[in-house]
Amino acid sequence: MLNRFTRLGLLALTTVIFAATASAAGDAPAPAPAFSLPARGGATVDLSQFKGQVVMINFWASWCVPCRKEMPLLENIYKKYKPLGFTLIGVNVEPDQKDAESFLKQTPVSFPVLFDAKSKVSGLYNVQGMPTTVFIDRKGNVRLVHQSYVDGDENLYMDQIRTLIRE
Amino acid sequence: MQLKGWHAHPGRLLAPAILLAISALYCAPSRTDVLPEDEVDALGTHYSGGGQDINGISLLVRKKVGDHVSLTYNHLEDIVSGASIDVRTSGASPYREKRNQDGLSGEFLYGKTTYSIGATHSYEPDYRSNTANFGISQSMFGDLTTVSMTYRRTWNDVYKMLCVVHNDDLNYPCVEKIHDPAFGEKDMDERSYGVGLTQILTRNSIISANLEVITDQGWLSNPYREIMYANPGGGSGFGLAPEVDPSTRTSNAIGVDYKYYLFWKAALDVQYRFFTDTWGIRAHTAQLGYTQPWHNWTFDGTVRFYTQTHADFYSDLFASATQQNFESRNRELSAFNSYTIGAGAAYEFKMPYATWINKSTANFRFDHLIFDYHDFRDALLIDSAAGVPVGTEPLYSVQINVMQLFLSVYY
Amino acid sequence: MSLTRRLLGLAAAALLLSQLCACASIQPWVKPYERERLADPIMSFNPHPIDSAYMQHVFETRGASRGGDGATGGGCGCN
C-alpha cells in the first residue's frame, strides 16, 4: 500500500511542478466590461460616466474581514487622488443590502458604493477572491487585478494609481 | 480481534500524507487566509455526578503580532473533589486534587499556508504531561478546499499517590500524600498523526473529514484501578488486584462533520466518528446540533449518542487474579452507551466605556450526560448475605451534569 | 482490505485529485462573492474553542475514544 501511494504521490508532485512552472503568456490590456448598477442613495451609476479618469473598483462584502479592514484606507486614497482625475467605486456583492448599510453607518465612506445584488458584475469581472480590486486606466482598459488585502497593500494601490494618473 | 496491517505501522500513513501536503504547497493559487481575531476568553466549568465534583477555570488570550503571526496563551485549573465509584470500590477515601495546565501556541500565515506550533504542560500531583504539536494547513481550489496535517507528541510521567497522614474526621481524610516509592515513576509516550480535509460543497453547506492515528507506549494502566476476581474462600467472595494493561496501543479515528445553512438563518450540524484500536475497542459517535441566532442572542442545542465495545482484556469479574496476562476492570474500557443532551445561549453586547473592544459575548452552556454500562457492575451493591453475590450486582449507570459559563471579549 | 484502509484510500485519492485539479483553471462552483452564508459565524465548525476543548476532554476521560475531531485536550483528568 505504501508503494502504490508513493507512486501516485510522486506522479502528482511531478504534474503539479510542471503545471506551476509553465508560465502564462502576458496578455494585452483588455477593455473593462461595461456595467450599470444602483448606488447608495438610489441613483444608477454607469462605468462609462468615468471615461477619461483612472478608476479603481473594489469588490467587497460586510462579511469579509480584510474588506472591512481596508475600507477606511480606501476612503483616504479616494480623498487624496480624487482631485487628480481619479475615482474609486465600491461594489458590494451581497444579495441583501442590510448588512452593508449597517457596516457603512459605522465606517462611512464618501466614494460611490454600488450594489451588485445579483452578482452580475462580479461574474463579468471574474472575481476570484474577496476582496478584489481592479484598476482601469483613462482609456477604459483593465491594467491590474489585485486579490485579497494584507497590511501594506494600500501602498501598492497608491503606486498603481500614480502610474496610471501620469499617463 | 486484532487489527492487522497498517494499524500496526502508523508510519505508513505519514509518508503519503507528507507527499500530498508537499505537493499542496507547490500548487497554491488562491488568496491568503485570515488569522483568527484577537480575543480574551474566561471560562468557568462545573461538572458533577458519580460522586465527583470538578470545578474548573480557564483563561485564553489571543493576539496578533504583526501581519503574519497570531499567538495564543491558555491557562486552566481543575479541582477534582469527591470519590468516583472506582475510588469507593477500592476502599480509598474521598479526595481533593488540583490540576494545572498551561499552553502556548502560534499560527504563522505565509501567503497561502498556515503553520501552527504549540506546547502544553499539564501538572497534577500524580500525572505530569508535556505536549508539542505542529500543523500545516493549506487552502486551494478557489478556496473551496482546505487540506491539513497535524503531528502531536506527548511525554507523560505517571505516579501513584500514597497517603501517609490520615485524619478520618475530615471530609477529605488524606492530609498528606507522597509519591508511592514502590510504584516509582512510569513513563508513557504518545504520538498522534492527523490528516484533515474541509470542503465547501454548496453556498449553504460545508463538510470536514479528519483521520487521526494515535500510538501510545509505556505505562498505560491506571495506577488506582483494580480488577476483581472471584475468591469463593474469602468473606466478600471476591479479591482485588491492580490492573495490567498492554504497554502499547494504536488507535484510529475517522470523523466527519457536516454543516448546513437553513434559509431562515440557522445552522444544522451533523457529526459522526468511527473509532477502533488494537485493544479491540470499536466505538461510534453520532451528534446532531442546531444553532439559531435571534437578535443579539445565539441559541444552540446538541444531542449526542456514543457506544463502545469493551477492550479484549476487559472483564467485570475474572475467574482468578492471573487468568490472563492483561486484565482490566476500568469502566472506560468496558462496553457502554452514553447519551448527552445539551443547550447553550450566547448574548452579544457592547462593553460600555471601552471603545477598543469590538464585541463581547456572554455564554452559558448546560449538558446532561447519561452513561449506561453493559458489562461494568456497581460493586458497592455486592452483598453475599443479602443475596447479591459478586457477579450478580446490578450494572452501573451514572448521570453527570456539566455547566459552563464564559465571557469572550474581541478587541 | 479493512474499512479504515478503504476510507484512507478514498481520502488520499480525493486529496490527490484536488492536487491535480488545483493547478488547472477549473472554476470553483461557489464563487467567492457567494460565500456570505458560509462566512456567518453560525456556520463555523468550532466557534468557541475554549468550550469545545473542555467538553472534548470530558468525553475523552470518560470513554476510550480519542482523536478524529480536531482540537486537542490535555492531561489525565479525573480518577
For chain B, give the secondary structure using H, E and C. CCCCHHHHCCHHHHHHHHHHHHHHHHCCCCCCCCCCCCEEEEEEEEEEECCEEEEEEEEEEEEEECCCEEEEEEEEEEEEEECCHHHHHCCCCCEEEEEEEEEEEEEEEECCEEEEEEEEEEEECCEEEEEEEEEEEEEECCCCEEEEEEEEEEEEEECCEEEEEECCCCCCCEEEEEECCCCCCEEEEEEEEEEEEEEEEECCEEEEEEEEEEEEEECCCCCCCEEEEECCCCCCCEEEEECECCCEEEEEEEEEEEEEEECCCEEEEEEEEEEEECCCCEEEEEEEEEEEEECCEEEEEEEEEEEECCCCCECCCECCCCCCCCEECCHHHCCEEEEEEEEEEEEEECCCCCCCCCEEEEEEEEEEEEEEEEEEECHHHCEHHHCECCCCCCEEEEEEEEEEEEEEEEC
Residues of chain B found within 8 Å of residue C8, distances taken between Cβ atoms: 6, 13, 211
Q: B171: burial class by Cβ within 10 Å (0-12, 13-18, 19+)?
A: exposed
Per-residue confidence band for C79, with pLDDT thresholds at 50, 70 and 90: very low
Out of C23, C50, C68, name the one closest to residue B211 (CB).
Answer: C68
Residues of chain C found within 8 Å of residue B223, distances taken between Cβ atoms: none
* Gap between the terminal Cα atoms of chain C: 38
CB B340 within 8 Å of CB B286: no
Residues of chain A found within 8 Å of residue B32, distances taken between Cβ atoms: 148, 150
CA distance A138 to chain C (A): 27
The least confident of A126-135, B134-143, C68-77 is C68-77
Residue C78 phi/psi, 5-degree rounding, is -120, 160
| 3-class secondary structure, A133 | strand
Under 8 Å CB pairs connecting chains A and C tally to: 48
- To 10 degrees, the CA torsion angle through B212, B218, B224, B230? 100
Q: Of C65, C62, C77, which Cα lies nearest the Cα of B54?
A: C77
Out of C9, C31, C39, name the one closest to residue A122 (CB).
Answer: C31
Per-residue confidence band for A18, with pLDDT thresholds at 50, 70 and 90: very low
* CA separation for the pair B192, B214 (Å, rounded): 4
Assembly ipTM: 0.88
Predicted confidence at residue B171, as pLDDT, reads 86
Report the DSSP beta bridge partners of residue B110: B113
Per-residue confidence band for A3, with pLDDT thresholds at 50, 70 and 90: low
Of B159 and C39, the one with more pLDDT:
B159
* C-alpha pair distances (Å), B262 with each of A119, B201, B267: 21, 14, 6
Residue B140 domain boundaries? 5-410
| 3-class secondary structure, A27 | coil
Residues of chain A found within 8 Å of residue C24, distances taken between Cβ atoms: 19
CB B310 within 8 Å of CB B330: no
Residues A128, B34: C-beta atoms closer than 8 Å: no
Residue C19 forms contact with A (CB below 8 Å): yes
Residues of chain B found within 8 Å of residue C64, distances taken between Cβ atoms: 275, 277, 279, 281, 283, 308, 311, 332-333
CB B52 within 8 Å of CB B96: no
CA distance C16 to chain A (A): 7
Predicted confidence at residue B21, as pLDDT, reads 47
Residues of chain C found within 8 Å of residue B308, distances taken between Cβ atoms: 63-65
CB B271 within 8 Å of CB B286: yes
The residues on B that touch A, with CB distances below 8 Å, are 5-6, 12, 15-16, 19-20, 22-23, 26-27, 30-32, 34, 37, 67, 142-143
* CA separation for the pair A44, A39 (Å, rounded): 6
Predicted confidence at residue B395, as pLDDT, reads 95
Residue C30 forms contact with A (CB below 8 Å): no
Residues of chain B found within 8 Å of residue A10, distances taken between Cβ atoms: 19
> B205 Cβ partners below 8 Å, 6+ apart?
B258, B259, B260, B261
CA distance C67 to chain A (A): 23
CB C58 within 8 Å of CB B78: no
Note the residue count of chain C: 79
Residues of chain A found within 8 Å of residue C5, distances taken between Cβ atoms: 1
- Residue boundaries of the structural domains of chain C: 40-66
CA distance A129 to chain B (A): 6
The CATH code for residues A28-166 is 3.40.30.10
Q: Give all chains having 3 or more CB-to-CB distances under 8 Å with chain A.
A: B, C
* CA separation for the pair B355, B411 (Å, rounded): 9
Per-residue confidence band for A5, with pLDDT thresholds at 50, 70 and 90: low
Block residue for cell numbers 482485588: B240
Residue B340 phi/psi, 5-degree rounding, is -130, 135
Query: For residue A96, what is its C-alpha cell?
Result: 441583501
> C8 Cβ partners below 8 Å, 6+ apart?
B6, B13, B211
Sheet holding A54-60, edge to edge: A30-31, A141-147, A132-136, A54-60, A86-92, A113-115
State the pairing for strand pair A86-92/A54-60: parallel
Per-residue confidence band for C34, with pLDDT thresholds at 50, 70 and 90: confident
Residues A65, B19: C-beta atoms closer than 8 Å: no
Residue of chain B whose alpha carbon sits nearest to that of A151: B67
CATH number at residue B85: 2.40.160
Residues of chain C found within 8 Å of residue B264, distances taken between Cβ atoms: none
Residues A123, C39: C-beta atoms closer than 8 Å: no
* CA separation for the pair B308, A164 (Å, rounded): 67
pLDDT in tens, B14-70: 445 544 444 443 343 333 357 788 999 999 999 999 999 999 999 999 999 987 899
Q: Of B48, B46, B87, which Cα lies nearest the Cα of B173?
A: B87
Q: What single string gives the DSSP state of each residue in C11-50?
A: HHHHHHHHHHHHTTTPPPSS-GGG-HHHHSGGG-S-S-HH
What is residue A39's DSSP assignment?
Answer: B
Total domains, chain B: 1
pLDDT in tens, A67-115: 988 999 999 999 999 999 999 999 999 988 998 999 999 899 999 999 9
CA distance B387 to chain C (A): 30
Out of C2, C49, C54, name the one closest to residue B3 (CB).
Answer: C2
Out of B12, B34, B143, name the one closest to residue A1 (CB).
Answer: B12
Q: Which of C33, C36, C38 to mutate to test the interface with A (most CBs of A within 10 A)?
A: C33
Q: Of B109, B111, B103, B102, which Cα lies nearest the Cα of B135?
A: B109
Residue B11 forms contact with C (CB below 8 Å): no
| 3-class secondary structure, C63 | coil
CB B169 within 8 Å of CB B189: no
Residues C36, A123: C-beta atoms closer than 8 Å: no
Q: Of B140, B408, B364, which Cα lies nearest the Cα of C15?
A: B140
Residues C35, A130: C-beta atoms closer than 8 Å: yes
| 3-class secondary structure, A32 | coil
Neighbours of B295 (CB within 10 A): 7
Out of A2, A9, A20, name the one closest to residue B26 (CB).
Answer: A20
Mean pLDDT for each consecutive 10-residue tract of chain B (411 residues)?
42 49 40 73 95 94 90 94 89 89 93 88 94 91 85 95 89 90 95 93 92 96 93 85 96 95 96 97 97 96 98 95 94 97 96 85 97 95 87 94 95 87
Of B242 and C6, the one with more pLDDT:
B242
The residues on A that touch B, with CB distances below 8 Å, are 1-2, 5-6, 8-10, 12-13, 16-17, 19-20, 65-66, 128-130, 147-148, 150-152
Residue C19 phi/psi, 5-degree rounding, is -65, -50
> B36 Cβ partners below 8 Å, 6+ apart?
B62, B70, B107
pTM beyond 0.80, yes or no: yes
